[in-house]
Structure 1
Amino acid sequence: MNEGRLGAPIGRRPVGQGWRLFLWLAAAFNFVVGLLGMLSPAASFDARLIGLFVFAFGIVYLQAARDPERLAPVLWAGVIAKVGTAALFAPQGFGADGSLLVASAVVIDALFAVGFLAFLLSRGGDL
């Protein structure tokens, strides 16, 4: 692929620092939540496994933050993961016995999903 000015593929705008920061924050959020899930002494095996997957998605977001022009399409997996996680955990966060911690994570995941979508659609949304 030919590259234009600033190393961005021809026909694409370079990604701004705000988007890069957003992707770094997504990575940091997943690293923290994933580590907490894996290392919690009260966590079941299933919770530790979920923590591992959350942490692994943090690596995806970190790589996308480092090279967003090239790796933006992998964020479609992030959209699916964030929307799915928010939907699956919403009853635990907002139900009758809801947890403020879980509700906060659901809201943050939903916001990251919206952000990923905005980023992808602003770049053409190709897979």
Structure 2
Amino acid sequence: MGEIVLWAAAAYNLVIGGAGLLQKEAGRDARVVGLLVVCFGLVYALVAGDPARFLPILWAGVLGKIGVIALLGPAVRRGEFPKAVGLVLAGDALFTLAFLAMLLHGV
């Protein structure tokens, strides 16, 4: 079950990050964010391929996702970002919980 969550997280990050990276109207900062999200997607794919070996790497994902939620969540609530960003953050929160469960209880 853990591998399915990890592959889903990889696909999620690749799609979300790739979309942000490839937007014509995206500025440099937005493209950098998209690139980093894609890179995290690659990390999740590596962990999915060998969870027994790479599971501790998920701590980077947990910290990254919590950080993004903490930084962007208040701005989303204030209406400074489109509602779609709130949906992305909700997905990040769900993956964070799943990652924590895997890290604390094993895959």
What residue is the counterpart of 2:13 in the other structure? Answer: 30
Shift, 1:88, TM fit: 1.2
Q: Counterpart amino acid of 2:63?
A: I
**Which one scores higher on RCO, CA 8 angstroms, separation ≥ 6?**
2
Q: Unaligned 5+ residue runs, structure 2?
A: none
TM-score, with structure 1 as normaliser: 0.80
Matched residues in 1 for 2:24 and 2:81: separation? Answer: 21
What residue is the counterpart of 1:74 in the other structure? Answer: 57
Q: Unaligned 5+ residue runs, structure 1?
A: 1-17
Q: Determine what percentage of the aligned residue pairs are the same residue.
A: 43
Aligned equivalent of 2:96, options 109, 113, 121? 113
What residue is the counterpart of 1:14 in the other structure? Answer: none
What residue is the counterpart of 1:65 in the other structure? Answer: 48
Matched residues in 2 for 1:76 and 1:97: separation? Answer: 29
Matched residues in 1 for 2:19 and 2:55: separation? Answer: 27
Q: How many residues align?
A: 106
Residue 19 of structure 1 pairs with residue 9 of structure 2:
no
- Superposition RMSD on alpha carbons, in Å? 1.1
Question: Residue by residue, what CA displacement relative to the aligned partner does 1:34-93 show, whole Å, maximum 9, x if unpaired?
Answer: 101110011110000010000000000000001001100000000001111111111232
What residue is the counterpart of 2:38 in the other structure? Answer: 55
Question: Residue by residue, what CA displacement relative to the aligned partner does 1:13-35 show, whole Å, maximum 9, x if unpaired?
Answer: xxxxx110000000000000110
Report runs of 4+ in structure 1 exceeding 4 Å deviation. Answer: none
Cα 1:67–1:53 change in 2 (3 A) is same
Aligned equivalent of 1:86, options 51, 65, 69? 69
